[in-house]
Amino acid sequence: MSSPAAKSPGYRKYVLRWDERPAAGTSEYEAIQSRILQVFREWSTPEGFTIHQFVIRVGDWGGYMVFETDNLADIHFLSTALAGFTFQLEPVIDVMDAVAVELQAMEWRATVA
């Protein structure tokens, strides 16, 4: 079976979720927040890094970024620089691209005896 995904455009879109690391007490928690903001003020979007959405969960120190890049080292740099957070990275594709691939897979599956 040839994979239709091999014929698809190169996917490089991700959703990055971050959550603040647990702190021992209030003063440590506040110090971590201050340090994260200090570091973040100096961060700039790397070349070749396209941010589509960058949102924070209301009432929480965490959020999501939907972005595209072909350089995983830029993601690793960001997650290392902002060590006060934990990160989860998920590769994603646009829904219409996903549906096209799913329809091709279902068509192929129907031919299997």
Q: Which domains does the chain have, with CATH numbers?
A: 12-111 (3.30.70.1060)
- Chain centroid, CA 83 distance in Å: 16
β-bridge partners, 65: 16, 54
19/5: higher pLDDT: 19
pLDDT of residue 1: 52
User: Region 79-99: what's the mean pLDDT?
Assistant: 91
Q: Is the pLDDT of residue 50 over 70?
A: yes
The pLDDT tens digits for 11-23 are 699 999 999 888 7
Position of tokens 């299997």? Answer: 112
Greatest pairwise CA separation for the chain in angstroms: 65
pLDDT of residue 105: 93
* DSSP E strand stretches across the chain: 13-20, 50-56, 62-68, 85-92
Least confident of 8-17, 34-43, 73-82: 8-17
CB atoms within 10 A of CB 89: 14
